[in-house]
Amino acid sequence: MSDSSGHAEARLDSLLATFAAQLGRDAEGYGNHVRRVFGLVRAQGPHLSADELQQVAVAAVFHDLGIWTDDTFDYLAPSRARADTYLHDEGRTDWIPVVNAMIMEHHKLRPVRDASLVEAFRRADLCDVSLGLMQRGIPAGEYAHLRAKHPIAGFHLRLVQFAGGQVRKHPLRPLPMLRW
């Protein structure tokens, strides 16, 4: 692990600890999802700068967080808003555009054009949510390695449970986070 990657992982761990109470019983599962996504982005761009790694760490922690912090399955905007607040408080407003794009575009159904870091994040999340079935752009064996290092810990089952609740409450908007 490079030093800049270690600093980004330390930020990731610190942020996850901040939200552990709100994540409750899902803290391990979500934390491992965040770590797998971070690792999958890093594997696609092994020469990412220290700032890019830090931006990915922030986006990874916040990208689905609104499910828990705002009690909604329509979580992109609340997740982005919380990331914005964090970045303002940290004095990193220059990171807001790319972190926002990673959060808001991570469930885009088509590739993101002209935004390699955002597209790498989208592919990483898709790979993890699909349990490795969708690995386009991910180096061979990387998902299996990260899954062994950071187990699923019930994360995908919780997503299914949240989706079921969304369907019951809003049958005409079953997956509000998807984007074209």
In a domain, 179, yes or no: no
Distance (Å, rounded) from C-alpha 102 to C-alpha 83?
A: 11
Asked, for residue 26, whether it belongs to a domain, the answer is yes
**Domain limits at 23?**
3-169
Mean pLDDT by 10 residues, the chain (180 residues): 76 98 98 98 92 98 97 95 98 98 95 90 97 93 97 93 87 80
CA–CA separation, 22 vs 87, rounded Å?
20
CB atoms within 10 A of CB 98: 19
> Phi and psi at residue 137, in whole multiples of 5°?
85, -5
Q: How far apart are CA 102 and CA 1, in angstroms?
A: 23
| Residue 69: both structure tokens together | 């912090």
| CA-angle at 165, arms to 61 and 102, nearest 5° | 25
Q: How many domains does the chain have?
A: 1
The answer as to whether 176 is a domain residue is no
Encode pLDDT of 63-102 as tens digits: 999 999 999 989 999 999 999 999 999 999 999 999 999 9
Model confidence, pTM: 0.93
Q: Is residue 178 part of a domain?
A: no
